[in-house]
Each structure stands twice: as structure tokens, then as C-alpha cells.
Amino acid sequence: MDTKIIKLEIENLAEGCFHEAAEVLRNGGLVAFPTETVYGLGANGLDETAAAKIYQAKGRPSDNPLIIHIAKTQDMESLAQEIPREAYQLAEVFWPGPLTMILRKNEFVPYQTTGGLDTVAIRLPANQIARGLIEAAGVFVAAPSANLSGKPSPTLAQHVICDLDGKVDMIIDGGHATLGLESTIVDLSGGEPMILRPGCITKAMLENVIGKIEYDPVVLQGAPSLELAPKAPGMKYRHYAPEGKLTIYEGDIQKVVDAINQKAKEKLDNKNRVGVIATDETEALYRYGTVKTIGSRKDEASIAAGLYAVLREFDELHAEYIYTESFADNSLGQAIMNRLLKAAGYRVVKL
């Protein structure tokens, strides 16, 4: 299939600029587009055949449900039933934005889209290209991250092109996905509200609005186990992973730098290709391998925004071993560490 690539600038969106992409979605095709979290691969979420194409293009397991993107809060009533008060409270504060809510689905949402579940994941994105496209299409847009299953999520159109060129109808290049991490997922489908996936909307931010909320125990547990299955099916799969073997070093930062330098030298002497993930503060301290900074420790958001792009850059360099510092496990750091641990297959060296 020929993939059409179109470039749009958020600051400069012309009248009718979504016309062609909207037509593709209405006709059951696939369009990749930027959101404020990561790039999404969209299809009509109420059309089973269209939704099935997403799974096919990504190589996504069919039990991993899709998030449906809407253009206005009220649209959740067209997809869900028994919507609790908390959903409206959270929507009021965090939509449009990087928050996904799990609600009980109604009969219009096909099981193809929900991976067979009786619940549906819904988000109203803030990115103006995403919203403009959903509005113009006039359909609800199921859109998981626009990467091949298992690869790091795409934060640039180039990443999408690399994974999906020839497999989708259209890719909208709208520059950087600014936040760089997938949305926070909150389950409001019954029982106590629960965070199924940490993201840029933190636990404290949610608690400010609806009171006490817990993490799905699997999120805190780290490595997956047979006893505890995550409530978000997608969280059980190998994710975000670079091709090389990624290891996280944790502890006093000087000790971390020394240990990574030593390990990187050992692998280089062995003729391996080595990558080091540094921060602005430590970049100059690393002496071996290809060193890339993901952002500044003074600005956690920059680290979230840089993580996936760096993992992909090391793939391009065919790094066989990648070493990274770890990050504080609170607020946004919780989301960063959640993704980093998965990418590392939970390989952590504690110093």
C-alpha cells in the first residue's frame, strides 16, 4: 500500500486541512497522527473491520484493547454507560489532555475495539491536530500508539514512518509529540477508581479532584508475575523495548557513573556497540560508548519527552548494550520509571 505523508503545523492549520485524512477514516482506513502524548494510529473505533486493520498493521495481540479518542466530553455518553460522577469531575479538569478513562461500554462499541472486554477506554486529546482530525472525521477514533507492537512508542513522524510506511493509508507529520509518554489510564468501570498506567497526570493530581486513588498492584510490583495479571491487558506485553540489552543503574549518581563507565569500557573492549543514556547534568562524565542525553534532571518533563526518541536512536546505531541512570520514583518519575523498567525487561543493578 502507498502511504501518503502530509505535513501540518499546529500554529498554522488551514481551513480544510483535515479533509483528506477525515475521508480516509470515514472510509474505514488508517491514519497516523500526532497527539500530545505519542503518535496514534487511528481508525473508526465503531467499525470492527477498520479496528481490525490497526491490529494487523501494528502486529498487536488481539486481546490488547484500543483507546477511543473523542472530540468533546459529551461524546463519552455515546460510548459508555453507567458513567460515574468521578468521570465527569476528571474530564472537567484534565480533558482535553493525557488522561484515559475506562468505563463500562455500551452496545455500540464492538468487542474488536475493546479486546473482548465489557469496558471501553476513552480519551479526549489536547493536540489540535488530533482534535481537528477527530472532529472533521465525525467518527470516534480508536488509536493505540503508532508503533510496531513491542517497539518504543513514536514521538516523531519519522518514528511512525520507520515502523508503518506501506502499512497504513496516511501519516500526518505534526512535529514532536510534546509529552512523550502514553496517557495516564484510570479505571472507573466499577469498584474503587484505580490507576492502571502511570502518566503525566500524576496520582496526586487525580487525588486532588476525586480523592484517594490506588495503583493497580501490578504497576507497583515491577516485574510481571504469574499470580498478578495487570488490569490493562497491554501492560503485560514486552514494551517500549530497544533492540539492545538495556540495563538500569540505580543509586548514588557518582557510583552510577563509575559503574556505567566500567561496564561500557568492558563491552567496548569486547568489540560490542555500546550506548549510554545520560542526563544534561552527567553527560560529560561518561567516557565510553555513544553517550546521549535524554533531558535535564531539573526538568523531569524533558526526560519524559526524550526517552523514546533516545531508545530509537540507539536502535538505529544497533547498540548491543545500553546503560542508563535511573530516576526518582515519584510524580512524573513514576511514569518514566514504569516505561524504563519495561524497556529494560526489569534489569536493574542496585549500587
Q: Which residues are near Mg ion by CB under 5 A?
A: 144-145
Site residues for ligand AMP, window 255-274 (CB under 6 A)?
none
Per CB under 6 A, the list member of 35, 44, 119, 324 interacting with ligand AMP is 119
Q: Which does residue 233 bind out of ligand AMP, Mg ion, none, counting CB within 5 to 8 angstroms by kind?
A: ligand AMP
Residues 58, 163: Cα–Cα separation, whole Å: 8
Q: Which does residue 65 bind out of Mg ion, ligand AMP, none, counting CB within 5 to 8 angstroms by kind?
A: ligand AMP
Cβ closest to ligand AMP, residue 148 vs residue 210: 148
For 119-148, the DSSP string reads EEEEE----HHHHHHHHHHTS-EE--BSS-
Residues 39, 137: Cα–Cα separation, whole Å: 18
Peptide bond into 96 cis (omega under 30): yes
Q: Is 24 in the site for ligand AMP (CB under 6 A)?
A: no
Q: Is 44 in the site for ligand AMP (CB under 6 A)?
A: no
Q: Is 338 in the site for ligand AMP (CB under 6 A)?
A: no
Calculate helix-pair angle for 128-137, 19-26, nearest 10 degrees: 50
Give the three cell numbers for residue 215.
495503583
Numbers of helices and strands, H then E, in the chain? 11, 17
Per CB under 6 A, the list member of 70, 120, 218, 257 interacting with ligand AMP is 120
Cα 229–234–239 angle (5° rounding)? Answer: 110
With CB atoms as reference, the residue minimizing the distance to ligand AMP is 234
Size of the site for ligand AMP (CB under 6 A): 19
Q: Which amino acid is at 237?
A: Y
Cβ closest to ligand AMP, residue 17 vs residue 32: 32
Per CB under 6 A, the list member of 70, 80, 196, 219 interacting with ligand AMP is 196
Shortest CB 54 distance to ligand AMP, Å: 10
Shortest CB 146 distance to ligand AMP, Å: 9
Q: Is 117 in the site for ligand AMP (CB under 6 A)?
A: yes
Q: Which does residue 161 bind out of ligand AMP, Mg ion, none, counting CB within 5 to 8 angstroms by kind?
A: none
Q: Residue 183 to residues 96, 99, 298, 304, 348: CA-CA distances in angstroms?
A: 12, 5, 22, 12, 25
Q: Is 102 in the site for ligand AMP (CB under 6 A)?
A: yes
For 33-95, the DSSP string reads E--SSS-EEEEETT-HHHHHHHHHHHT--TTSPPEEE-SSGGGGGGTEES--HHHHHHHHHH-
Q: Is 45 in the site for ligand AMP (CB under 6 A)?
A: no
Shortest CB 14 distance to ligand AMP, Å: 29
Q: Residue 7 to residues 10, 69, 129, 168, 219: CA-CA distances in angstroms?
A: 10, 21, 11, 16, 37
Which stretches of the chain bind ligand AMP, using CB under 6 A?
64-65, 67, 102, 114, 117, 119-121, 144-145, 182, 185, 196, 231-235
